[in-house]
Structure formats: C-alpha cells, structure tokens
A and B are shown apart, each in its own frame.
Chain A
Amino acid sequence: MNNNVIIIGGGPCGLEASAQLHQMGYNVILVEREPQLGGHLAKWDRLFPEGIKAKEVLDQLIANINGVKYFLNTEVKSINQLDKEYNVILSNGITILATAVLMASGFDLFPAEKKEEYGYGIYDKVITNADLENYFNTGKDRRITAAPKRIGFVHCVGSRDEKAGNRYCSKVCCATAVKQACEAKEAFPDAEVFCFYMDLRMFGRGYEDLYLRAQKEYGVRFIRGRVSEVAEDINSQLIVKAEDTLSGKPIKVTLDLLVLMAGMTNCQAGVKVANMLSLKKDDDGFFTCKDSILHLQQSDKKGIFYAGACTGPKTLPDTLHEARAAAIAIHNYFKERK
C-alpha cells in the first residue's frame, strides 16, 4: 500500500489539510486548477469579525505546507477506483496512485446575474461582495467612480431562495455584509449605508459585537426586508424597492452603489471530479457526507474524504477545523488498512 494522499483544491482547506497530513508523514499531492494557491481567500481583503487581513492568513497557511508537492493550473482529468487505491490522471500528464483522496474543492459564488431583478451586469452601479473585496484590495473598480453617497447591501442573493435553486442559508454573507458595510463607511465616510436583510444570522463569537459596532460606530441602517426590484433613473442612480416589514410599508431609496451578497454553491469543477467517481449529492447540490454528525469527513466511498465548503456553506474557521478533522480521518483510514 502506498503512502499517497491526493488533495483536490488548493484553497485554505486544501492547504491546511496538506500541512497536517504532510506533518503526519504522508506523501501529499495538492492539485489546484488556478494559477495561484488560496482559492477565494486570495481574492478577499479582510476577514470578519475583527478584520484580519486575508493575505496574512493565507501567507501563514502557505508557509505551513512547506515541502508538500503541489501542481498549479492543473485539473483532474480522470479518476478511477482500483482494487485498493485510486488512479488519478492529471491534466499535466502526471498519473498518481493514491490510497486516499480528499475533496477540498470548496464553493463557487452564486452568479448574481441570475437574479435578473437586481440588474447585476445590466446596471453600472450594481456589484457583488467579491467585487467589493477586490475593490478594497486593489482600490480599483470601473463601477465605483466618485465616492458614493448612498450604499446598499442586499443579503441572501441566491441563498434562501427556492427560485435560485438554493433553499439553504449561505451562513457567511450576513457577517460579511456587516463587515463590508463598516468598511464601506470607512472608505466613504460621507456615505449613508443600508443593509437589507431577511434575518440577521450573527451566530459566531464576536459577530454580534460586529453588528453592534456597525450600528453604533458606523451608523449603518438595517432594514428588515428583502429587495425585490431595482430600477435605474436617468442619472444611472439606482432606485431600490423593498418592504420595511417592521413598519409594514413598502419603501424605496435611491442609491449610488448596490452590493449583492452572493451566496455559496457547490464548486462546479469539484462536482465534475465527483461525477467521475459517482459521488452522491444532496438536492442542495453539495456532497453527501456518510452521516451528518459522526462522519462529516467521510463520503459513501472508501478512501474518499470531504472537507470544507464542498459539503455546505462554512466560515473560514469551520473550514480549517474540517481540514484538520479530515487529516485525522485519513490517518485513521491508513491505520485500519495496515
């Protein structure tokens, strides 16, 4: 039996799992389809709740995998179950026999243009959470020209939405929205900031404090109502319609920038690999764990493991926990087989 573990996905999850398994003495091969490691984290600016720089976290994660073999710009071309191991052929021509495979394929952001009524890709002043992070990171976005006077955040875009095919809550968008609302106020101190939410799910440690800070220090206005329609006036300002469900009145507000909090969906590239192995998916599109409490890291196939957002929306700390848990699950798997 060989010592090989192949990890699919070089985001924070794949990085952490690689580091742990490498330390345990396994021969780890990390496969990433993009030209750099880090996944979505590499494109993010700061992290909730405290606003730690994403780059600092990522640098540390990458430093930890020192010694792990990884391939960039590489996809899994085919994967076959043999008698005791998996035969994996990569797009760079390399073939690997691996005893265990870890799916750390993560998530795709919901394509916000699918919610036509919000006008992403149609109106110039509508952006997504990812666009805003990119703006914070680089200071550049063609859609943010003059300092916006009024900014709105729409929670739950493509989440908790039967029409979008995603009934689930994406878990991280509320905290991200509140974080970004504060940051937007920091970037544009004269701006009024509105958050349109259905339910605020500030469940983690420090999240409620973030919410309080947003109200107290940044004066963010929270409106309990889902945005249903966005129109544009002649000055290409946005007219946003929602109901203030607390007062029971429909409201409208003119905005200079609207940020859509696109939710999480299972990563399509990961699904492609999973399909080669006929791995099961739930009707929410995420992979099915062996069970939902005791064996979150195991799949229904021996030797295939899951970690991170490929089994449902997760925060970054959750993902890192799962990466470590997966490392232990894989370690135990090797021990049982000896």
Chain B
Amino acid sequence: MANFGYSLTKSSRIDLNNRNIEKWNRLVELEPDVLKCMACGSCTASCTAGKFTKTSLRSAILYLQNGQEKEALEYIQSCLLCGKCFMVCPRAINTRHLLLSISKIYSNR
C-alpha cells in the first residue's frame, strides 16, 4: 500500500490525544484552582525569578493542558515560591500550592 504524505521529521503539531488525562485529573483533585486560570499573564509579569529565567505558571498550565509535560516543568523549575503571583492573580488561584502540586505529580523524584 502506498504511503502518502511527508514524514521526514516528527510533526511539530501538538497532539491533544497524547495528553495524560489521569495525571491531569489528579492535579485537578489536588488543586482545583488550576481550572480557574484565564491566562492573563499577571503571574509571569510579576515573577521574581522571571527576571532571570523563563518561569511562568500561566505557560506551565497551558503546556500541561496540551500534554507537553516536560516543557511545562521547565517553566516552573526555577520558581522561588515567593507568592507574588498569588497576590496579583485576579482569579485568586492558590498559585504556590498549584506549583508544588504540579511538581509532585509530574516530576520524576
């Protein structure tokens, strides 16, 4: 059977089928606030570590929703848990617990 289409490199498209839904559900159970994010970027903008690194909770949540777990962790690994994001979040997301919970569920300890 002929195989059409180009497949030299892996598709760079995000494949939502590959999401780990079981892990995501566990995260939601541990910190339901993860569902509240409206991606305003306040957390990233005020991040203490963000001045030096690409720390961004908003991005981490987005990447997790897209099933890109490794990338998501890169966005929070330098977090100092200072809590500024909790203070500025307009949806009052419990950001520090969310950060810890993502770490707990997704990182290989």
Complex Cα distance A163/B91, Å? 7
Among the stretches B12-20, B21-29, B34-42, B101-109, the one at the interface with A is B34-42
Interface string of A101-124 (1 = CB under 8 A from B): 000000000000000010000000
Chain A residue at minimal CB-CB distance from B47: A250
Q: How many residues of A contact B (CB 8 A)?
A: 23
Known: A248-B56, A248-B59. A228 touches B91 (CB 8 A): no
Q: Which of B40, B45, B50, B89 contacts A198 (CB 8 A)?
A: B40
Q: Which residue of chain A has the shortest Cβ distance to B86 in the bound complex? A: A163
Interface presence of B90 (CB below 8 A): yes
CB distance from B74 to the nearest CB of A (A): 12
User: Chain A contacts of B41 at CB under 8 A?
Assistant: 224-226, 228, 242-245, 250
B58 and A245 form a contact (CB under 8 A): yes
Determine how close the nearest CB of chain B comes to the CB of A93; give it in whole angstroms. 46
User: Cβ of A243 and Cβ of B92 under 8 Å apart?
Assistant: no
Tell whether B95 is near chain A: CB-to-CB under 8 Å. no
Closest to A166 in B: B90
B30 within 8 A of A: no
Identity of the chain A residue whose Cβ is nearest the Cβ of B39 in the assembled complex: A245
Which of under 10, 10 to 19, 20 to 34, or 35 or more describes the interface residues of B? 20 to 34
B90 A229 Cβ-Cβ under 8 A: no
CB closest chain-A residue, reference B92: A162
Name the residue on A nearest B63 (C-beta).
A248
A331 CB-CB contact with B under 8 Å: no
Is A227 part of the binding interface, using a Cβ–Cβ cutoff of 8 Å?
yes
Contact partner of A163 among B38, B56, B92, CB < 8 A? Answer: B92
Contact between A226 and B42, CB atoms less than 8 A apart: yes
Nearest-CB distance from A127 to chain B (Å)? Answer: 21
Kindly supply a per-residue 1/0 record for chain A positions 141-164, scoring 1 wherever the CB is within 8 Å of any chain B CB and 0 otherwise. 000000000000000100011111
Q: 8 Å CB contacts to B: which residues of A152-198?
A: 156, 160-164, 198
Q: State whether B88 touches A162 (Cβ < 8 A).
A: no
User: Which A residues lie within 8 Å of B39 (CB)?
Assistant: 245
A55 neighbours in B (Cβ, 8 Å):
none
Residue of B nearest to A252 (CB): B45
Alpha-carbon gap, A225 to B59, bound state (A): 13
Q: Smallest distance from the beta carbon of A274 to chain B beta carbons, Å?
A: 27
A245 neighbours in B (Cβ, 8 Å): 39-41, 44, 58
B51 partner residues in chain A, CB cutoff 8 A: 250
User: Within 8 Å CB of A242, what residues of B?
Assistant: 41-42, 45
User: Which of A198, A224, A226, A242 neighbours the largest number of chain B CB atoms within 10 Å of its CB?
Assistant: A226
CB pair B90–A226 under 8 Å, yes or no, is: yes
Residues on the A chain within 8 Å of B43, using CB: 228, 243
- Considering the chains assembled together, what is the distance between the CA atoms of A109 and B38 in angstroms? 24
Quick check: is B46 within 8 A (CB to CB) of the other chain?
yes
Q: Cβ of A250 and Cβ of B50 under 8 Å apart?
A: yes
Please name all residues of chain B whose beta carbon is closer than 8 Å to the beta carbon of A162 when the two chains form the complex.
Answer: 89-92
Given known A225-B41, A229-B46, contact A243–B88 (CB-CB < 8 A): no
Among the listed A164, A225, A241, which residue makes an inter-chain contact with B40, where contact means beta carbons less than 8 Å apart? A225
| B90-A156 in contact (CB<8A) | yes
Q: List 5 A-B contacts (CB under 8 A).
A: A117-B46, A162-B89, A225-B41, A244-B41, A245-B40
**A residues adjacent to B (C-beta < 8 A):** 117, 156, 160-164, 198-199, 224-229, 241-245, 248, 250-251
With A163-B92, A245-B40 known, 20 other A-B pairs at CB within 8 A are: A161-B90, A162-B91, A163-B89, A163-B90, A198-B38, A199-B38, A226-B90, A227-B42, A228-B46, A229-B45, A241-B46, A243-B42, A243-B44, A243-B45, A243-B56, A245-B41, A248-B59, A250-B44, A250-B47, A250-B51
